[in-house]
Amino acid sequence: MINIPVTVLMPVYNAESYLKEAIESILNQTYTDFEFLIINDGSTDSSKDIILSYQDSRIRYIENETNIKLVATLNKGIDLARGKYIARMDADDISIITRLEKQVAFLDSQPKYVACSSWVETFSDNKNSKLLKYEESHDGIKVKSLYQNHFCHGASLIRKNILIESNLRFDSNFIHSEDYYFFIKLSELGELFNLQETLLRVRHHDSNVSVLSRNIQYENSLIVIKYQLEQIGISTDNIDFNVYSRFFCSSFDLSKDEIERIENLIFTIIQANKKSNYIQHQVLINYFFDKWFSLCLNSTKFGLWIYNKFTNSDISKLCKISKIDNLKLLVKASLKTQ
């Protein structure tokens, strides 16, 4: 077993429509020293024929006897990988030609990071593309992950030794959110980093996720969110996660009662994190202060009530608001009062 710098791990299941584009985006990388571990998970279409049509010696083809599903296939790939790094790739996405070159150079020069990812461009055959920009720093990633996964699995490059030493694998209890939970657990072992450029194009199409799968994804994502809050030191039993989600999605239709509940929850999280330091404390404070101010600024339909609520809040006392922002909130609230 020869150790090589990178294993590109790509599970395949009935991906014939886009498989060639995905494979060639890896084979044409400017960084060339890798094995391309393609695991065919019981495909019933022409995926196998497409894979075997390539004569590139870097391709290492593995075929599951039956369809064991994504999580088990990913874990099998981790165990089979020979690379120092594992790069993830999905069978319907497109890696930018310099992706591996830039990610390997980063991890080679930054040993404190256990994994890196990047911005991604989502696209489909009938919709406009969309650029997803993820936070760069480890603490920025962690604070944004309190609501949703902020580290793109398909664009990731991971140090394999961290996975082996910690026995970290994808968990089948988190179907459709297995990557979310995986990277939260990985973030507890070392630092994550998002390169601030687009290195992957993610294809969205009708077969990506069914309505049932979306429901399962939502429920499992909620479990991951609860896990993080519990690590901070928060009991999640009495949290209204409908209000929580609307706040994090910057929904500004909250009632006075809901605003007060969010205020209390934010301050409770901040106080608990001060003790646990699960997330770098000042980063958490800055993030929640900005979100709190944005909520208040967009809730001026309540007039001076919202201005007084912001001014007297314990959250607002943790950061210094600029005179311009304070005046903006006061004017908007005053105009609604009149």
Residues 171 and 245 in one domain: no
CB 160 within 8 A of CB 89: no
Same domain, 145 and 292: no
State whether residue 34 is helix, strand or coil: strand
Task: Please tell me whether residues 109 and 148 are part of one structural domain.
Answer: yes
In whole angstroms, what is the distance from residue 201 CA to residue 22 CA? 10
- Whether 282 and 176 share a structural domain: no
pLDDT tens, 286-329? 999 999 999 999 999 999 999 999 999 999 999 999 999 999 99
Is the same domain home to 248 and 200? no
Give the HSE-up count for residue 4: Cα atoms under 13 Å, Cβ half-sphere. 18
Residues 145 and 253 in one domain: no
Backbone angles phi, psi at 296, to 5 degrees: -65, -40
Helices and strands per DSSP (H, E), number in the chain: 13, 9
Q: Residue 212: its pLDDT value, please?
A: 78
Q: State residue 206's pLDDT score.
A: 60
* Cβ–Cβ under 8 Å, residues 246 and 253: yes
Comparing C-alpha atoms, which of 89, 82, 124, 118 is closest to residue 19? 89
Task: For residue 78, tell me if it sits in a domain.
Answer: yes
Q: How many structural domains are present in the chain?
A: 2
85: helix, strand or coil: strand
User: What kind and span of H or E run contains 275?
Assistant: helix 256-276
Of 187, 216, 245, the residue that ends a domain is 216
In a domain, 229, yes or no: no
pLDDT for residue 210 = 67
Q: Are 177 and 218 in contact (CB under 8 A)?
A: no
pLDDT at 2: 58
> Taking the model in full, what pTM does it have?
0.93
List pLDDT tens digits, range 187-233: 999 999 999 999 999 998 765 556 778 899 999 999 999 999 999 99
| Angle at 92 (CA atoms; ends 89, 95), nearest 5 degrees | 50
CB 198 within 8 A of CB 130: no
* Within-domain flag for 17: yes
Q: How far is CA 54 from CA 49, 58, 168, in A?
A: 9, 10, 32
Sort 161 into a burial class: Cβ within 10 Å, 0-12 / 13-18 / 19+.
exposed
Domain co-membership, 208 together with 245: no
Here the tokens at position 85 are 């790094």
Same-domain check for residues 144 and 210: yes
Within-domain flag for 225: no
- Flag whether 227 is in a domain: no
**Residue 226 domain flag:** no
Domain-located, residue 272: yes
- Asked whether 56 and 28 are in contact (CB, 8 A), the reply is no
Question: What was the pLDDT predicted at 234?
Answer: 95
Within this chain, do residues 320 and 289 fall inside the same structural domain, yes or no?
yes
Q: Which residues of the chain have pLDDT under 70?
A: 1-2, 206-210, 337-338
Q: Which of 83, 44, 51 is nearest to 66 (CA)?
A: 44
* CATH, residue 201: 3.90.550.10
Domain assignment present for 165: yes
Q: Which helix (H) or strand (E) holds 87?
A: strand 83-88
Residue range(s) defining the domain that contains residue 114: 4-216
State whether 28 and 169 are in the same domain: yes
Q: What is the pLDDT of residue 214?
A: 83
Give yes or no: residues 149 and 250 share one domain.
no
**54 and 157, same domain (yes or no):** yes
